[in-house]
Structure 1
Amino acid sequence: MTTSVFLNNDRTIPLLGLGLYKATADDEAENAIISAAKNGYRLFDTASAYKNEESVGRGIARCGVPRKDLFITTKIWNNAQRLGDVDGAFERSLDRLGLDYIDLYLIHWPVPGCYLNTWKEMEKFLESGRALSIGVSNFEIRHLEELRKVSGIIPAVNQIECHPLCYPRELIEYCQANGIQVQAYAPLARGAYLDNDILCVLGTKYAHTPAQIGLRWAVQKGISVIPKSTRPERIAANARIFDFEIEQEDMDLLDTLNQNYHSSHVPEDLRDTIF
């Protein structure tokens, strides 16, 4: 089964990665990466706002996988955008991670009045090879349309919350029609659907857990997923999504569970401005 997809600049991205949000305890991110690498993970997702890039860097160095075989994502936070400190923020992330380049650098949130300038600065990272791909996170169609007006570079990725309880179909279809890879953060809705009756019934049918059903639903749609866990047994279980396929009628059933439920929240400094 397919375990990676092509981005719009002919690079590939794994369909499964490890999210590292809130993995901030001593060596927590480092140990999670080492465990995940043993279970076949090659994509690791962090951000400057997560305050764990140093630990992520140690995990990358210790995981035993050659750097060229890894896919590392990090993101620029809102205050750096407001200060116009895009290059400084990028260099600090590289330094904390101990890397020469980033596979994917994202705008974490579309800060009004800033994100278009941020994008133009990020184009330079792409041109220099310090970032192999650039993209966005939490962008709606209107933000992507504004970006299109000022830049000839289409975001490689739009990272959004997506899972059976939160299925923004119009946004996903827009991204897919315009060559933007959708990546789902919080794809387990932080546990919100793990006792859902339909997920449980399908879990029994396919001999997989509700979590695995939810992750498989996304990757079967071509959406990359980055479930967060620091527990080795859950990291291993979340990787077991490529040994079965959900029938179309069950995919359609899962689509009906959408409630526009968000387990994540818009940052306080943006709540009155964009969403």
Structure 2
Amino acid sequence: MNQNLQPKVRLNNGLLMPQIGLGVWKTPLETTRQMVCDALTNDYVLLDTAKQYGNESAVGQGMQDAFQSTGRTRASVFLTTKIYNGDQGDYDRVRKGFEGQLQALQTDYVDLLLMHWPVNDLYNQTWQAMERIYADGQAKAIGVCNFDVERMRDLLDHAQITPAINQIEFNPKIHQPAIVNFCQQHDIQMEAWSPLGNGTLLHEPIIEKIAQSHQKTPAQVELRWALQHDLIVIPKTTHPQRMRENADLFDFELSPAECMQIDTLDTEEHAIWYDKFKWSGNPNGIDNVIADPASFE
């Protein structure tokens, strides 16, 4: 058992969640199936997917492949998926969409169910539906993604249950301090999507120099930096060797001075496509188009 994949954080409902996992955004079906199987074979615990990614069925099949080859069981996996923007709204609409996701994933529950985006005029109603799913036991924890302070404050004003997680874009180029500080004050765990910034910082001189001093890769330094900012990380890679490297983060620590050097790289610029999804409730908008994984070859 890879001990580097065992550290966990306790969420505000008491559930323990792994600090390091595998994200599967923007990967085609067969690649997703193999990378999930490889990840579980290499002792990964946390998997993060979404209906928007168009590959939940491949995640489900990859888990089954790994269970057959390793003897692991569903209980050994911390599985996260997300409510699709096009399924947001009242309970019946959310429930119908979620049931289809469970079927695709070949499971009868998820460990963490997130709202993928705070769709204006729908997110409070969607959250109420998610609270019912949580009460039914089909999600062990519920949370959100991409919420800013304004929308998180509004959600908390209407919610019965405080989100366990807010998953946001977070890496050395974007820190989003306002929402990070707000969530930490309200006992909402932060989780980083795109913790490696789509690879844009792997050749950044500051990070390369720090990596050399620790005899680590730039990716390991970026991930360690995020962990030291108290975030959960879900880097994506299709390569088993990089999966192992991405988990090898607990035999070194960045100094405060090194963290401050990396902090200087912040530009607070979102990924170039971010605004195409942001806050939209338009049924004809890009937020309601499920990605075709085959287009990401």
Regarding TM over 0.5, the answer is: yes
Separation in structure 2 between the aligned mates of residue 208 and residue 263 of structure 1, nearest angstrom: 26
CA displacement 1:228-256 (0-9 Å, x = unmatched):
11122222221111221111221122122
Separation in structure 2 between the aligned mates of residue 267 and residue 88 of structure 1, nearest angstrom: 27
Match for residue 57 of structure 1? 60
1:80 partnered with 2:100: no
8 A contact 2:89–2:126 mirrored in 1: no
Structure 1 residues 3 and 47, CA gap change in structure 2 (3 angstroms): same
Number of aligned residues: 272
One-letter identity of the residue aligned with 1:231:
H
Separation in structure 1 between the aligned mates of residue 187 and residue 34 of structure 2, nearest angstrom: 34
1:126 partnered with 2:129: no
Question: 1:1-275 residue pairs with structure 2 within 5 A?
Answer: 3-25=7-29, 27-63=30-66, 64=70, 65-81=72-88, 85-263=93-271, 265-266=273-274, 268=276, 270=278
8 A contact 1:5–1:15 mirrored in 2: yes
Q: Does the residue aligned with 2:38 lie in a helix, a strand or coil?
A: helix
8 A contact 1:24–1:50 mirrored in 2: no
Separation in structure 1 between the aligned mates of residue 272 and residue 14 of structure 2, nearest angstrom: 31
One-letter identity of the residue aligned with 1:16:
I
One-letter identity of the residue aligned with 2:166:
N
1:272 shift after superposition: 7.1
CA displacement 1:147-180 (0-9 Å, x = unmatched):
1111131101000010111111221111111111
Separation in structure 1 between the aligned mates of residue 108 and residue 197 of structure 2, nearest angstrom: 33
1:98 shift after superposition: 0.7
CA displacement 1:83-128 (0-9 Å, x = unmatched):
8610011101101001010101111000000000000000011101
Normalising to structure 2: TM-score of the pair?
Answer: 0.87
Structure 1 residues 144 and 38, CA gap change in structure 2 (3 angstroms): same
Gaps of 5+ in 1: none
1:39 shift after superposition: 2.5
Gaps of 5+ in 2: 282-297
Normalising to structure 1: TM-score of the pair?
Answer: 0.94
Separation in structure 1 between the aligned mates of residue 135 and residue 269 of structure 2, nearest angstrom: 38
Separation in structure 1 between the aligned mates of residue 280 and residue 62 of structure 2, nearest angstrom: 37
Separation in structure 2 between the aligned mates of residue 172 and residue 100 of structure 1, nearest angstrom: 32
8 A contact 1:75–1:108 mirrored in 2: yes
Q: Does the residue aligned with 1:106 lie in a helix, a strand or coil?
A: strand
Match for residue 294 of structure 2? none
Superposed CA RMSD in Å reads: 1.7
One-letter identity of the residue aligned with 1:46:
T
8 A contact 2:117–2:145 mirrored in 1: yes
1:81 shift after superposition: 1.2
My pick for the range that moved more, 230-239 or 147-156, is 230-239
1:261 shift after superposition: 2.8
Which structure is higher in RCO with an 8 Å CA cutoff and minimum separation 6? 2
CA displacement 1:18-64 (0-9 Å, x = unmatched):
00001223x21121012112332100000001111111001112223
